[in-house]
Structure 1
Amino acid sequence: MSDILSLFSLQGKVAVVAGASRGIGHAIANGLVDAGARVVGFGRSDAAADARFDYRRCDVCAPAAVAGLFDDVEAEFGAIDVYLHVAGITLPSQGGMQSSETFNATLASNLSSAYDCCANAGRRMAARGQGSIITVTSIGSLMAFPNNPAYVAAKGGLRMMSKALALDLGPSQVRVNCLVPGYVQTAMTAASHADPVLHEQRAGHTMLGRWGQPEDLVGAAIFLASPASKYVTGTDLIVDGGWTAKGL
């Protein structure tokens, strides 16, 4: 049994998590610590008080700052073994079309910045001949959401970008996979979670009859980060309570 469990160990590994101040990214960063990793999380705001990892303020939309952060982590820890991109925003319209400004801001935060971060990680991992990159997309990368074409476009683009990076980085033994959450109770979904009608609708779409919690993503993230998934790349691991598989 100990040999099997060691497949999921991240002992001695260094992980960087973007969007680790709260929500899914925060839960995953703490979970990677529990799996043995040394974790550096970053984001634009201060981290929650229960963070058990090294946290740094850095805007994913600031390329020079991002490159500097990766340089600093590599200098301090020697290598980066795992990179998780969880950062993102959602700016749904209140009816009607989203403005061009909103559309472009969403793509910049959710897609362009993801490429910049993944490229920074990927180049370093490729030079060492190993590594795991995990992008957190959404079931919105698989289906349409109302009043939010920018979010769906960005997450769909992130999904396909991840597959393209998996192809390009595969010869260097760097794996790239998507972690695909359904509706998870976070600050980003607070409004719909608090709305009794939307709350029940979202829960009813799942096979499990409930919303996800950030901690529900931790096990899947550890799997994709660890040697247990060493032959898994270019794929989607859907953690949505059965939403996308549910029929009538």
Structure 2
Amino acid sequence: MNQESSGNVHARELRETKTPQGGQERPVGDLFRLDGRTIVVTGGGGFLGTAAARAILESGGDVVCLDVVPIPRSDNWKPVEKAAAKYGRNLLYVQCSVRDADEVAEAFASIRQQLRSPIRGLVACAGISENGPSTVFPAATFRNVLEVNVTGTFLVAQAVANELLQTQLSGSLVLIASMSGHVSNRGVDTAAYNSSKAAVHQLARSLAAEWGSRKGMPLIRVNTLSPGYIRTAISAESMNKPGMKDQWEGDNMLLRMSTVDEYRAPVLYLLGDGSSFMTGADLRVDGGHCAW
């Protein structure tokens, strides 16, 4: 029998001392709890980001929301503030462009001084999409989509990993990808967006491989969550195109669009200890769109 390498021994020791081992002897409800943890949420002022933030607060975690807008929309943000007050949790909002490495570094330096619990996770929701036929799609617009969706996701994941490296605590990173990283969507010209989300899938697998067992690193799990079509005020504008609503609803097996609230439980599962043996994977929540 071959002896374990020193790197593997180190990784095994980290798992034994700092990481729940499947939670076999813990109540099931605890597997979704986030007590004593701060979770960073990018795109934290948007529809999906605020839904994730509320779920984290309700599950015992503190939340730091990062978003490019100076002040989030009040109709999105007020429920988050109410949840923080109701459950006695710490909630921070920091303006930050995730595509700018200096801004990300400044944001984390600011956050570090205000934490009540250590950073233990990330939900990377920040992303943009631009539509247009590829024959005339501007190169600058294509680059911008990649900068926000891919580079921005990487920069914040990197910053969270470095916080975990300092504290030597385990963590879980959830990168919001899309079913559009698996397939092309009929009726919309979104080559840049689709390409960026496929890149997020590969980014998660690559980071999971690096941070799951590397010597000197705590255990950091990295997974993606791939939503299907979500009914929001923004998607409602796209559905004004004749036939688009029927097509989007008919393209999946449940014959409807999702709501942001339907991603709360998947986010909590990926962040929490219930998914302790899951890394480098994609959780597709698309109503069966990709399963035809």
TM-score by length of 1: 0.93
Q: Which letter maps to 2:54? A: N
Q: Which residue is equivalent to 1:29?
A: 53
Cα distance, 1:186 vs. partner?
2.5
Instruction: Please list the CA deviations of residues 24-54 of structure 1 after superposition, one character each: whole Å capped at 9, or x if unmatched.
Output: 1111111111111000111012223322242
Residues in 2 aligned to 1:187 and 1:64: alpha-carbon distance in whole angstroms: 32
Q: Does 1:223 align with 2:269?
A: yes
Question: Map of 1:164-243 to 2, 5 A cutoff?
Answer: 164-171=206-213, 172-195=218-241, 197-243=243-289
Q: Which residue is equivalent to 2:10?
A: none
Q: Which residue is equivalent to 1:19?
A: 43
Residues in 1 aligned to 2:232 and 2:208: alpha-carbon distance in whole angstroms: 29
Q: Which residue is equivalent to 2:176?
A: 136
- Cα RMSD over matched residues? 1.8
Structure 1: gaps of 5 or more residues: none
Q: Which letter maps to 1:51? A: V
Q: Which residue is equivalent to 1:120?
A: 159
Cα distance, 1:2 vs. partner?
8.1
1:21–1:43 contact (8 Å) kept in structure 2: yes
2:204 alignment partner, one of 156, 162, 184: 162
Cα distance, 1:73 vs. partner?
2.2
Structure 2: gaps of 5 or more residues: 1-24, 82-90
1:91 alignment partner, one of 125, 130, 141: 130
Q: Does 1:108 align with 2:138?
A: no
Residues in 2 aligned to 1:67 and 1:79: alpha-carbon distance in whole angstroms: 17
Residues in 2 aligned to 1:55 and 1:195: alpha-carbon distance in whole angstroms: 35
Q: Which moved more, 1:64-73 or 1:111-120?
A: 64-73
Residues in 1 aligned to 2:267 and 2:162: alpha-carbon distance in whole angstroms: 21
Q: Which residue is equivalent to 2:86?
A: none
Residues in 2 aligned to 1:84 and 1:38: alpha-carbon distance in whole angstroms: 13
Equivalent residues, number: 246
1:71 alignment partner, one of 94, 109, 115: 109
2:231–2:258 contact (8 Å) kept in structure 1: yes
Q: Which letter maps to 1:156? A: A
Q: Which moved more, 1:158-167 or 1:48-57?
A: 48-57
Residues in 2 aligned to 1:186 and 1:147: alpha-carbon distance in whole angstroms: 19
Residues in 2 aligned to 1:43 and 1:173: alpha-carbon distance in whole angstroms: 27
Q: Which residue is equivalent to 1:50?
A: 79
Residues in 2 aligned to 1:230 and 1:56: alpha-carbon distance in whole angstroms: 29
Secondary structure, aligned partner of 1:50: helix
Q: 1:2 to 1:175 in 2, by over 3 A?
A: closer
1:126–1:169 contact (8 Å) kept in structure 2: no
Q: Which moved more, 1:69-78 or 1:138-147?
A: 69-78
Q: Which residue is equivalent to 1:244?
A: 290
Q: Which letter maps to 1:41? A: C
2:181–2:194 contact (8 Å) kept in structure 1: yes
Residues in 2 aligned to 1:2 and 1:209: alpha-carbon distance in whole angstroms: 38
Q: Which letter maps to 1:208? A: L
Cα distance, 1:94 vs. partner?
5.5
Residues in 2 aligned to 1:164 and 1:95: alpha-carbon distance in whole angstroms: 28
2:120–2:169 contact (8 Å) kept in structure 1: no
Q: Which letter maps to 1:167? A: A
Cα distance, 1:194 vs. partner?
3.6
Q: Which moved more, 1:10-19 or 1:52-61?
A: 52-61
1:98–1:149 contact (8 Å) kept in structure 2: no
Larger Rg: 2
